[in-house]
Amino acid sequence: MSVNKDISVVFVLGGPGVGKGTQCSKLVKDFKFKHLSAGDLLREEQNKEGSQYSQIIRQHIKDGTIVPQEITIQLLKNAIIRNQEEYQKFLIDGFPRKMDQAVIFEEEVIPAKLTIFFDCSKDIMLERLLERSKTSGREDDNLESIEKRFDTFVKTSVPVIEYLDKSRHIVKKIDCSKTVDEIYADVKEAMKDII
């Protein structure tokens, strides 16, 4: 089966802990979006009994590096296909975060209509992640992994956002240093043509 070309895809990008998942959860309460977090799909695959990818996913997540694109793209593509009868609009959270992923996904799955880029300082993201680490149970919510995730974001993922902005002209940047509700108001404004 293939992806229906009539669906709309929005990439939701930004550094670790900036609030991508939080804002996507608010959007799905108010609008009919399917929220697909690449990180959540990878964690689910990692924990699946008998998955041949468990080890490789676990290692990359712990090291804050990017899982090979073919694994993540296949998981996303399958999830879109499973949901495209019910949903017309998809929030793809935390993907693409490496150039090869961006190019292959847009060529072989579907081009995105819009990219929301959540931006705030590293200090704020760190504070949010350390707070979340008290309860999240995530294997990468520790200082060592968090530093590596920041490093990968700056070196590998920021160039993808620049590419989507300068070459594809589909990026809207949102200041995420504010409260959840203030940010959400800006998100709705940035997405008004799609919601």
> Which residues here bind ligand UP5, judged by CB under 6 A?
14, 16-22, 37-39, 42, 60-61, 64-67, 72, 94-95, 97, 128, 131-132, 140, 149, 179-180, 183
Q: Quick one: which H or E segment has residue 77?
A: helix 69-83
CB of 22 to Mg ion, least distance (A): 8
Residues of this chain, 4-33, that bind Mg ion according to CB under 5 A: 20-21
CB of 136 to ligand UP5, least distance (A): 7
Q: Which does 89 bind (CB under 5 to 8 A by kind): Mg ion, ligand UP5, none?
A: none
Q: How big is the chain, counted in residues?
A: 195
Gap between the Cα atoms of 90 and 141, Å rounded: 26
Q: Which does 18 bind (CB under 5 to 8 A by kind): Mg ion, ligand UP5, none?
A: ligand UP5
Is the CB of 88 or the CB of 128 nearer to Mg ion? 128
Contacts 24+ apart (CB under 8 A), 151-159: 151/64, 152/64, 152/65, 152/66, 152/97, 153/15, 153/16, 153/97, 156/66, 156/97, 156/98, 157/13, 157/15, 157/97, 157/98, 159/99
CB of 96 to Mg ion, least distance (A): 15
> Binding residues for Mg ion, per CB under 5 A?
20-21
